[in-house]
């Protein structure tokens, strides 16, 4: 982000954010106050710590996806996507990981966008990917959970069911990647650079977009928070 953009984000008013995210319908975009706060926060952090440019963060990562991820988490509070499950802290970091992955993707994995540990990222656990996995029968919900989803229950970020859905999504996709790599290994092909959670996420998201009609009977979990 150029310095001028960072300055703009840091000083945007709530009314300006409402105008930018204005709806085509009578329904306003949700969490507008939170969106405003996060934009101001991100712009301010970029200006104060990184000279107004996210590229500075990327260069500081030393071509490591994990180091860039830590830089984002340490400096931008809104990316700290964490919860407590059975008295243990669990971390999803959906937005932080997709920020790193999209940087890698946009820069074609070259130059500043080359990360030698890009495969260390997990799937980006949101609401759409688990829906696809259930639709494809890679995951299965209990009857009790499915009933709640079909009734449109609104979960809170950190609710047990929400954490379980996201956690199982990550584990399921890790198993898919592992199985694919094993299949290619049996054929004598090394596909480590072509099969990872980032590319699997992109594929599943595109699948969801192009198969909306087929998936309409598979419910997704509903939650309003800043982490997806």
Catalytic residues: 126
Distance, in Å, from the CA atom of 134 to the CA atom of 127, rounded to the nearest integer, reads 11
Distance, in Å, from the CA atom of 14 to the CA atom of 37, rounded to the nearest integer, reads 9
**DSSP category for residue 91:** E
Distance, in Å, from the CA atom of 41 to the CA atom of 56, rounded to the nearest integer, reads 17
Residue whose structure tokens are 């995210």: 21
**Contacts of residue 98, Cβ cutoff 8 Å, sequence gap at least 6:** 124, 201
Identify which of 220, 209, 73 has the alpha carbon closest to the alpha carbon of residue 146.
220
Q: What angle do CA 111, 115, 202 make, to 5 degrees?
A: 105
Backbone φ, ψ for residue 161 (5° rounding): -65, -40
């Amino acid at each position: 982000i150029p310095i001028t953009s960072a300055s703009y984000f840091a000083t945007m008013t709530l009314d300006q954010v409402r105008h930018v995210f204005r709806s085509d319908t009578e329904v306003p975009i949700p969490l507008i106050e939170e969106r405003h706060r996060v934009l101001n926060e991100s712009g301010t952090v970029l200006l104060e710590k990184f000279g107004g440019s996210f590229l500075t963060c990327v260069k500081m990562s030393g071509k490591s996806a994990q180091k860039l991820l830590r830089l984002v988490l340490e400096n931008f509070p809104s990316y700290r996507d964490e919860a407590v499950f059975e008295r243990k802290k669990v971390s999803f970091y959906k937005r932080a990981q997709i920020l790193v992955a999209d940087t890698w993707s946009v820069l074609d994995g070259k130059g500043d966008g080359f990360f030698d540990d890009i495969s260390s990222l997990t799937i980006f656990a949101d609401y759409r990917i688990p829906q696809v996995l259930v639709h494809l029968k890679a995951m299965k919900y209990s009857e009790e959970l499915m009933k709640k989803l079909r009734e449109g229950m609104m979960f809170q970020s950190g609710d047990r069911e929400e954490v379980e859905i996201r956690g199982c999504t990550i584990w399921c996709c890790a198993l898919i990647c592992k199985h694919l790599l094993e299949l290619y290994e049996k054929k004598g092909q090394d596909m480590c650079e072509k099969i990872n959670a980032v590319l699997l996420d992109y594929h599943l998201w595109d699948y969801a977009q192009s198969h909306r009609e087929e998936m309409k009977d598979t419910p997704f979990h509903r939650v309003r928070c800043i982490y997806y």
